[in-house]
Amino acid sequence: MVNFADRMDGMKVSDIRELLKLTTRPEIISFAGGLPAPELFPVEDIKAATDAVMDEQGRAALQYGPTEGYLPLRKKIVERMEAKNAIHTTPDNIILTAGSQQGLDYVAKLFINPGDVIIMESPSYLGAINAFNAYQPKFVEIPTDENGMIMEELDKVLATTENVKFIYVIPDFQNPSGRTWPLERRKKFMEIINKYGIPTIEDNPYGELRFKGEYQPALKSMDTEGLIIYMGTFSKIMAPGYRIGWTCANEEIIEKLNLIAQAAALQTSTIAPMIIAKYMDMFDLDKHVDKIRETYKHRCELMINTMRETFPPEAKFTDPDGGLFTWVELPDYVNTRDLAAIALENNVAFVPGSGFFPNGGNNCCMRLNYSCMPDERIVEGVHRLAEVIKAALK
Amino acid sequence: MVNFADRMDGMKVSDIRELLKLTTRPEIISFAGGLPAPELFPVEDIKAATDAVMDEQGRAALQYGPTEGYLPLRKKIVERMEAKNAIHTTPDNIILTAGSQQGLDYVAKLFINPGDVIIMESPSYLGAINAFNAYQPKFVEIPTDENGMIMEELDKVLATTENVKFIYVIPDFQNPSGRTWPLERRKKFMEIINKYGIPTIEDNPYGELRFKGEYQPALKSMDTEGLIIYMGTFSKIMAPGYRIGWTCANEEIIEKLNLIAQAAALQTSTIAPMIIAKYMDMFDLDKHVDKIRETYKHRCELMINTMRETFPPEAKFTDPDGGLFTWVELPDYVNTRDLAAIALENNVAFVPGSGFFPNGGNNCCMRLNYSCMPDERIVEGVHRLAEVIKAALK
């Protein structure tokens, strides 16, 4: 009876999501989510910061606030991007969003007419595919290797494709692959997008979570043409529960995103950015991030080492330098959706890889998360998964 | 160089918004905003509730949570809608949103293809017009009188208009007019939408803020066909700074809104709904709402009485039974945008009425807010405004 908009045809409940609902059962060892380790959340410190905000500015914290977000936090973000990413910018180039996810939605809303082309790494972040999908684009995937996007392929596509609205990339510890672009690729990428004048979303939720290898500068730090739309978040370095991320872009784009944000939600939380700013005043966020890095380094090494010991040689997997995920490729006759169902029967969960490919296919991959499981469950889960994989091999 | 989506053509910075930026100067007496009175925010009680959440469930409060929102708060919302609005529903029929505003965006995204028709009261809420506008609908306005939407006109429009996707109404203390639909209109409205099978957003941010006159049941309480999409919010009965509202609808619609919400922002804040639920456990929200009602009653009466004493007879205005706004109509040769600039020179601000008409025009109206100014500023501001109006009359 009710007649929904055409865009809803592309937005269906995925079978993966239904599968994942089962992973909340306590007996399940889940490598499926992308959750930060909750035992590391600085609960007491955040409570102290919250009390200080309520004591000092309670009424302002509970009132409406500006669409672009609390200025003192935007200033701190500018300082942090300068210190951590060598990005020079100003608070006027920043809008706070409900996690980076809302930034993805807003940028999609800003650029995409139905049928426009969006370029993504193959594979790429499932949540970005979902956010963009609501605006009915065509997706073009650029092949990747162990060093991320293959730049020659990108150049070829841009030379021959019309209506490309933007490129979406995660150069650091990519979700889902865990891969990082080396410096040469970053330089080459900037050359290419400058040549074609194509705006690019650089999504960097994990950049500060490097636990080995060499620091790589953000694309945004090399952006001479104002083409990079950079996204950051407090979800992985502090806590996701407040839903505070940010988008940093040229002023024309920020002004448009402000219009979109005001129409879509008026603003993000007033109080949450005040708490985060106060926490950063009262406590040492860098020290906290060090703790997260150490923990994830340990868990990642434990998972990768256990996989090396137990997985059959047919299973190839990445060895990330940071972030939350590793990526497994099995022989192409294995369907990881079927495998996920079998794994669940054995009380271990992962996300099948096909959802990370904007145009589907690629059924033989899986994403594994190591950030939020204790040691013994990582070891036990990998052992179980190894058995499930071995049984699926011919 | 950069090529934005077509929808951006309809999303421009309004001159009204530029004007309103000036109203934050402290010397300005502003009737322009729609802010709740911050001195009534239960800062100490909310702080206590927050501390309890952090002590009892800190890690869960800072982690990701479900897209539809914290179940205990959805349960409390169900109970409150039953008690206050005679609405019978279940937590599965509710999704939390970042204020009602985000609900408006999500429902627009669910229904509107470019060119589809949306029906609104004339005038209607500016924020809803903006939210819908991003999806490029045609707006059809239904004339209103002192009792709200004129149902015969609605019937006529529905009989002769194709592609009507939904109707948007605020039956209680409407923004901007302050008007409330009597029972007969509500019944007639339900008859009409049932006849045509048209979904309707009932936006009810102010329903609990009745300070005189007789209680009227929500449309949703009379909804036998699952056509009403009801929106509520904690912004006006508790505090807007958390950005927590809700949408209540049939399960098919809620399921679709969940897909949209997940793609657009993953979820609202995890911790904010936990704090609100805890506050409702620890303290008496009804008693707090009583206090708000008393204050707004006083301020409304003071504003209306001062307007009666000082405004010229050519200025007609509404006498609201609740909510935050009154609406002034001047002779049609007066342009309230020009008037707003003159008023600002006299350090008093209001919102010109034309922005509240989806298709523009109607330049002779203004919206006045009485909720967030102390007595002496209300009296002084109305006196100043009266002089500005008198000077504009022929």
- Hunting for tokens 């949540």 — which residue is that? A127
What distance in Å separates residue A237's CA from the closest CA in chain B? 12
pLDDT above 90: residue B1: no
Domain B13-42+287-392 and domain B43-282, same fold? Reply is: no
Residue of B nearest to A236 (CA): B63
Give the pLDDT of residue B38.
96
Fold of the CATH domain B43-282: Aspartate Aminotransferase; domain 2 (3.40.640)
At A230-287, the pLDDT tens digits run 999 999 999 999 999 999 999 999 999 999 999 999 999 999 999 999 999 999 999 9
Give the pLDDT of residue B22.
75
CATH of B13-42+287-392, one of 3.40.50.720, 3.90.25.10, 3.90.1150.10, 3.40.50.2300: 3.90.1150.10
Mind giving me the DSSP string for A54-108? HHHHHHHHHS---TT--HHHHHHHHHHHHHHH-----GGGEEEESHHHHHHHHHH
At B42-59, the pLDDT tens digits run 999 999 999 999 999 999
User: For residues A370 and A29, is the Cβ–Cβ distance under 8 A?
Assistant: no
User: For residues A161 and A194, is the Cβ–Cβ distance under 8 A?
Assistant: no
Give the pLDDT of residue B15.
64
Tell me the three state secondary structure of residue B146: coil
pLDDT above 90: residue A14: no
- Hunting for tokens 């504009």 — which residue is that? B392
Give the pLDDT of residue B16.
66
Give the pLDDT of residue A16.
66
Give the pLDDT of residue B68.
95
- Hunting for tokens 């019309």 — which residue is that? A162
Residue contact B259–A11, C-beta within 8 A: yes
Amino acid at B240: P
Closest to B242 in 3D by CA, of B265, B266, B264, B274: B274
Rounded Cα distance between A210 and B365, Å, is: 58
**Mean pLDDT for the stretch of residues A12-23:** 71
Positive/negative CA dihedral, B265, B199, B233, B28 = positive
Rounded Cα distance between B296 and B286, Å, is: 15
Alpha-carbon torsion angle B215, B216, B218, B222, nearest 10: 130
Rounded Cα distance between A108 and B109, Å, is: 13
Task: Enumerate the residues of chain B whose CB falls inside 8 A of the CB of residue A228.
Answer: none
- Inter-axis angle of helices A126-133 and A99-111, nearest 10: 40
Average pLDDT of chain B is 96
Give the pLDDT of residue A23.
74
Q: Pull the structure tokens for residue B79.
A: 């109970």
What distance in Å separates residue A390's CA from the closest CA in chain B? 33
pLDDT above 90: residue B143: yes
Of A12-26, B156-170, B182-196, B360-374, which gets the smallest average pLDDT? A12-26
Rounded Cα distance between A303 and A383, Å, is: 10
Please identify among residues 108-127 of chain B the ones whose CB lies closer than 8 Å to any CB of chain A. 109-113, 116, 127
**Mean pLDDT for the stretch of residues B12-17:** 70
CATH architecture of the domain with range A60-282? 3-Layer(aba) Sandwich (3.40)
Tell me the three state secondary structure of residue B153: helix
**Mean pLDDT for the stretch of residues B184-202:** 98
Task: Enumerate the residues of chain A whose CB falls inside 8 A of the CB of residue B35.
Answer: 63-64
Residue contact B243–A127, C-beta within 8 A: no
Give the pLDDT of residue A374.
95
pLDDT band at A25, cuts 50/70/90?
Answer: confident
Give the pLDDT of residue B345.
93
Amino acid at A164: V
pLDDT above 70: residue A299: yes
Burial of residue A26 (number of CB atoms within 10 Å: 0-12, 13-18, 19+): exposed
Of A41, A252, A260, the CB nearest to B58: A41
CATH 1.10.10.10 at A6-42+287-392, yes or no = no
Give the pLDDT of residue A26.
86
Give the pLDDT of residue B24.
74
Best B6, B97, B129, B269 member to test A by mutation, with max A CBs in 10 Å, is B269
pLDDT above 80: residue A111: yes
Of B2, B38, B44, the CB nearest to A199: B2
Please identify among residues 139-158 of chain B the ones whose CB lies closer than 8 Å to any CB of chain A. none
For B390, other C-beta atoms within 10 Å of its C-beta total 13
Burial of residue A68 (number of CB atoms within 10 Å: 0-12, 13-18, 19+): buried
Per domain, the residue ranges of chain A are 6-42+287-392, 60-282
Q: B373: which DSSP letter?
A: S
At A334-365, the pLDDT tens digits run 999 999 999 999 999 999 999 999 999 999 99
Please tell me the pTM assigned to this model.
0.97
For A168, other C-beta atoms within 10 Å of its C-beta total 25
Give the pLDDT of residue B13.
74
Percent of chain B at pLDDT above 70?
Answer: 98
User: For residues B162 and B116, is the Cβ–Cβ distance under 8 A?
Assistant: no
Give the pLDDT of residue B26.
86
**Mean pLDDT for the stretch of residues A379-384:** 98
**Mean pLDDT for the stretch of residues A302-319:** 98
Closest to B54 in 3D by CA, of B240, B359, B363, B275: B275
Residue contact B266–A101, C-beta within 8 A: yes
- Interface predicted TM-score of the whole assembly (ipTM), two decimals: 0.96
pLDDT above 60: residue A1: no
pLDDT above 80: residue A131: yes
